[in-house]
Amino acid sequence: MSNSSKNAIKHGCCAVDTLLLPTERIEDLHALENIWHKSYNPSTEAERHLVQELAHADWFLQRATRAYASVEAELYKANPNPAEWTEAQDRKLGRYLRYKTASTNNVIKCRKAVEDYRKARLAEKAASEKSALAQERLKKTQSSNPQADWHQHLKNMRAEAVARGFVSPDEPNPFDRY
């Protein structure tokens, strides 16, 4: 492996494809994943994937936070007065702050994806339950009051129209005489 290919894992903030750095422990990653899985208790494969992505985003945020704290401590050790830091030192700390901010934004985005997925599933479940309840009510109504056939329905509509004062099209209109 060439030296330039290892640049991303120097501090790990640019190592988005590298889940574990040599300085990190797999047990810590698994512990973090377990925390997120216990918190959300995903029930579907899609939800498990989203929670896993959230756990990894949090892992990268913790890495960026450690790198930022390390650089900040290094700068304070060299010069405890930030007002006296050189422009290069300010830029360096700013770069690590951007790494940390990008990781924070990614955690927020992943968490929102999990929450949106859960809200959509709850809305689907509520709509399904509402539909099932409506179907059940319709069946009850139809079984307790069977609908008349088409001819009977037509007769009922004509009778109702005549009762309201409408003239049947089969009978001559009494006003046509004038």
Q: Where are the domains of the chain?
A: 7-167
pLDDT 10s digits, 14-43? 766 788 888 899 999 999 999 999 999 999
pTM: 0.70
| Cβ count within 10 A of residue 48 | 14
Distance CA 128, CA 132 (A): 6
* pLDDT tens for each residue of the chain, 178 residues long: 455 445 555 666 776 678 888 889 999 999 999 999 999 999 999 999 999 999 999 999 999 999 999 999 999 999 999 999 999 999 999 999 999 999 999 999 999 999 999 999 999 999 999 999 999 888 877 776 666 577 777 788 888 888 888 776 666 665 555 5
